[in-house]
Structure 1
Amino acid sequence: MITQPRNRSFSIGMILFPNLTLLNFTAAYEVFSRLPSAKVYLLAPTLDPVYTESGFCLLPNTSFERSPALDVLFVPGGLGVNARIEDAAFLHFLKTQGDRALYVTSVCTGSLLLAAAGLLQGYRATTHWFAMDLLKLFGVEAVAERVVIDRSRITGAGVTAALDFGLVLAAKLYGEKVAQEIQLSLEYAPSPMFQCGSPQTANVEVVENFRAEESSLWETQRRTIQRSLNLS
């Protein structure tokens, strides 16, 4: 069993938005849901169903309006990031909660939303490898690491880094013993079939094919960010 913490209960807010990447959310949630004495809020502007990129339906349990002050703010990534970068009310909520949170966190391109909300300026952070240059457009020091910790900011890299990130946060909140017990309960002992999980280890042809296939998405994101910066 997971040991109870000494005297602390944490409120964790997981932000939902249309077309987020499911594994960004669920991998982190699997860790958060096992934290002792933690309250996890699934937050969205309304309680309407939220559909992920893959069509999976998520149900918020708390609206932005009814959200308590959060100890941890967590933002996933996904194709829906583009629309949220230009959503002033959405970014205002992130900024308001982030300014008073104990930890401000993200996985994958969720860091672009933190940056758009003004929560990563002056911090080191990471994102999906394909979006590193986009994060730099916000003036953020982008770092190519699996999980980056800079004071109160904890950011994870691409999609599957959500598990690594979750365990890092668990250790920060409740200690390494609790984090280790959660990792064991999840049997998280990765042994991938192929060594192509990063551009550093993947075959050059695989990397170039991916870049070509996703180039229009990257350009759309770049234009969206530039437009938002010019309006701010």
Structure 2
Amino acid sequence: MTAAYILFNDITLLDFVGVYDPLSRLQSQGHLPDFSWDTCALTPTINDSFGLEIGVDHVCPNLSKYDLIVVPGDFGTRMLKDNPAFTAWLQTATDVPLKASVCTGALLLGAAGFLKGHRATTHFNEYKTLEPFCAEVVREDLVDDGAVITAGAVASSLTLGLYLCEKFAGKEKTEAVRRSMAY
């Protein structure tokens, strides 16, 4: 299984790391040794919402080769949802079996058309913004609607990370990951 973390300027770093950390432990602890991931963006580096610069593995790759994409959120999503170049790139993930988001990353999944007919959640201040993109906005921390899993505000990133661990590796291995995080 291979995941793509979709990064962009003005992300909340915890939205990314909260999912990345538990999932990466599946590989590093030998629970899913073939699990791998890439960081992907439209530019070679991005800056989080506080200015921290992060280099990425791949610039604008075709996302169709991945099994999972994870889209974090923050203020950068408000502009990107209306950015045709970003949306077109994200749409290369149309055939990716599982798409996940944290916080306002759901707005980007929605702008790419991935939430049509799905239930979804986002940051509690953006429920109204999400409404046009999905069948139903659910006011919960995590919504699994089959091919799309969305998580609410920033702290739900850890919830999503552990939820995906359980989905991919089962309860026992997820419990080992959780314990190793002291969470």
TM-score using structure 2 length: 0.91
Report how many residues are paired. 177
Letter in 2 for 1:15: I
Distance 2:25 2:97 in 1: 19
Among 7, 30, 51, the alignment partner of 1:16 is 7
Q: Secondary structure at the match of 2:78?
A: helix
CA deviations on 1:163-207 (whole Å, 9 max, x unpaired) are: 00111111111212221111111111xxxxxxxxxxxxxxxxxxx
User: Whose radius of gyration is greater, 1 or 2?
Assistant: 1
Letter in 2 for 1:136: E
CA contact (8 A) 1:95 1:117 kept: yes
- Map 1:205-224; keep pairs closer than 5 Å: none
- Map 1:184-199; keep pairs closer than 5 Å: 184-188=179-183
Q: Secondary structure at the match of 1:154?
A: strand
Q: Is 1:38 the counterpart of 2:35 in the alignment?
A: yes
Distance 1:168 1:23 in 2: 16
Q: Is 1:90 the counterpart of 2:86 in the alignment?
A: yes
Q: Secondary structure at the match of 1:158?
A: coil
Q: Is 1:173 the counterpart of 2:164 in the alignment?
A: no
CA deviations on 1:66-91 (whole Å, 9 max, x unpaired) are: 65611001100011012211211211
Q: Report what 1:153 is aligned to.
A: 148
Q: Report what 1:105 is aligned to.
A: 100
TM-score using structure 1 length: 0.73
**Structure 2, gaps ≥5 residues long:** 28-33
Q: Report what 1:144 is aligned to.
A: 139
Q: Secondary structure at the match of 2:69?
A: strand
Among 70, 74, 80, the alignment partner of 1:74 is 70
Q: Secondary structure at the match of 1:121?
A: coil
Distance 2:63 2:137 in 1: 30
Higher relative contact order (CA 8 A, sep 6+): 2
CA contact (8 A) 2:47 2:54 kept: yes
**Structure 1, gaps ≥5 residues long:** 1-9, 189-232
Q: Residues 68 and 34 of structure 1: is their aligned pair in 2 closer, same or farther, counting only changes over 3 Å?
A: farther
**How far has the Cα of 1:139 moved from its partner?**
4.1
